[in-house]
Amino acid sequence: MKNSIKMSTFTCLLIITMSFNSHAQQSKKNVLINTWHIDTYMIQGKKYPPSRKEKNDFIQFNKDMTFFSKSEGKDENGTFIYNTNGAYIEMIDEQGGKLKAYIISITKKKLVLKFDIEELREVEIHFNAHI
């Protein structure tokens, strides 16, 4: 009898934990759906402002899993995949090019990404939400 009570308790805890974890992952995805404007770059603990060409750069993630971005005055469209296990976003542009960005942190107002590009691997890019 004791074992069945322990097993029932364990099963309930497991279901609650999985449910909470799934909800938290969904919430992060919902928070990601926004327009994110570049704020600063963080390199080895020091913050740097974006250049004049990058001042108006942004990424807009949409509910339909599409994105629109502006980088140094160039527009780009495509789709994205949000991978909750690896905590990254993979953006696929209209030509099929892929770009992976690891989510360092995300809140309703701030997003910090590290892009999987050789020259940017040590750079955290900080974005602010356009609310």
3-state secondary structure 22-43: HHHHHHHHHHHCCEEEEEEEEE
Quick: pLDDT tens for 87-98: 999 999 999 999
Task: Give the whole-angstrom CA distance, residue 46 versus residue 48.
Answer: 7
Quick: pLDDT tens for 52-89: 999 899 999 999 999 999 998 899 999 999 998 889 99
Residue 27: the pLDDT is: 62
**pLDDT at residue 35 is higher than 80:** yes
The candidate with the shortest Cα–Cα distance to 39, out of 52, 59, 55, is: 55
Residue 119: the pLDDT is: 80
